[in-house]
Structure 1
Amino acid sequence: MTDTQTRRVAIVTGGSRGIGKDAAQRLAADGQAVVIAYAGNKTEADNTVAEITAAGGAAFALQADVADENAVAALFEAAEREFGGVDVVVHAAGVMVLGPVATFDLDALDRMHRTNIRGTFVVNQQAARRVRTGGAIINFSTTVTKLSLPTYAPYAATKGAVDAISLILAKELRGRDITVNAVAPGPTATALFLDGKDEETIDRMAKMNPLERLGTPGDISEVVSFLAGPARWINGQTIFANGGIA
């Protein structure tokens, strides 16, 4: 669809790489116009836009700090100005720093909170104000909230907040016909997961689920596509996309 009155419009934060990039490409393939928000890597964001447009989709990229309410408001305004409105918000932007509670650097904790908690709140606040009837808000949690792996406490704590925001916002949007859900991936072959891990660790974690492999970004964007389109009766849920690991 190309009609701006009928085509759904999606904002994807963290859409320049990893799961966010794959989700942006999948939504574009589904016929949605896509706005990609990126933190700092303009080259990767522009490449993602180029790939989408080369495949016949509509997209543009805009830099935005997800924890900055003015930048996020400008992001939504740009989507409305270019494509006529916003129907879907996929909040995939996030950071992960690992370490044991006893020795964890509190500055790193504050940085992670700013992006993962405040960023989720700010993006969801604008989404709650602006997403059109029939829309969907999709946040990103993590399966680590169930696995309780050592060194993941600081990260899992931020994602526990994402779960809370998502499930409560779904109820606050009563009567608007807008769904709000969180997707909780298991170990997935992205730079966010792979960086800093040796082959033995990666192989061990890949074998933790009954399918005995890491997830792929495509596995996760398939769930995003479902929640962003046909899954109108799934609301206020955290969907664990992890191959059965937990």
Structure 2
Amino acid sequence: MGSAGGAGPVAAGEPPVAGGRRHPQAGNGFLRSGDPVNVYPFIEAEQAGKHNVKRACELLQVSRSAYYRRSHVSARARTDRDLTAEIIAIHDASKGTYGVPRIHAELAAAVREAIAATITALPEQLRRTLTWDRGKELAQHARLTIDTGVQVYFADPHSPWQRGTNENTNGLLRQYFPKGTDLARWNTGELEAVAATLNSRPRKALGWRTPGEALNDLLSSTQDSGVATTG
């Protein structure tokens, strides 16, 4: 039976509302109750239009602090995001053209820049050496050593035990990012959250300390020995 007002028939299971029209969350093509919705673009649009952000957050039931935390992107995060996007773009461009020197050179340069930007943020005593795999994307290791002072070594072919900590960490990361995962789906903050989780996990090899605790102990002992030597 047709509904009043010229609207089509109500499908089974769809609750009618006043006027005989379908419920806006019940019909095909409409959002249904419980569907995940990213409301931040709506708030951003209100902010861009110089409207009341507080009122928009209240209507959409979003914490203002959460909105501002999400919308604020640090300079470091922007740099990491841009480098990641560059690496992914070069990698995608190289698909089907394996062996093209120019593509490999661009990818190696992007990887070198990304590693240099990250590793130079570490204390100097923690970045003396780096043991790498043998991929072509790591071809600019000599330039990396010049830029950062880090000595680079390569494992022998088919010898993962020569990079034991790296291989173990890769296995832990697979719990969050299965092999073949497109890392472009996550932003820098989300990747850093995974790193923080792993660095807060107790390890048997560290006497059940977390990596973060072991690092703090190492830095403290290094600082204390330096003070004792100069005292």
TM-score by length of 1: 0.26
Structure with greater proportional helix content = 2
Tell me which of the two structures has the higher relative contact order, counting C-alpha pairs closer than 8 angstroms and 6 or more residues apart.
1
Structure with greater proportional strand content = 1
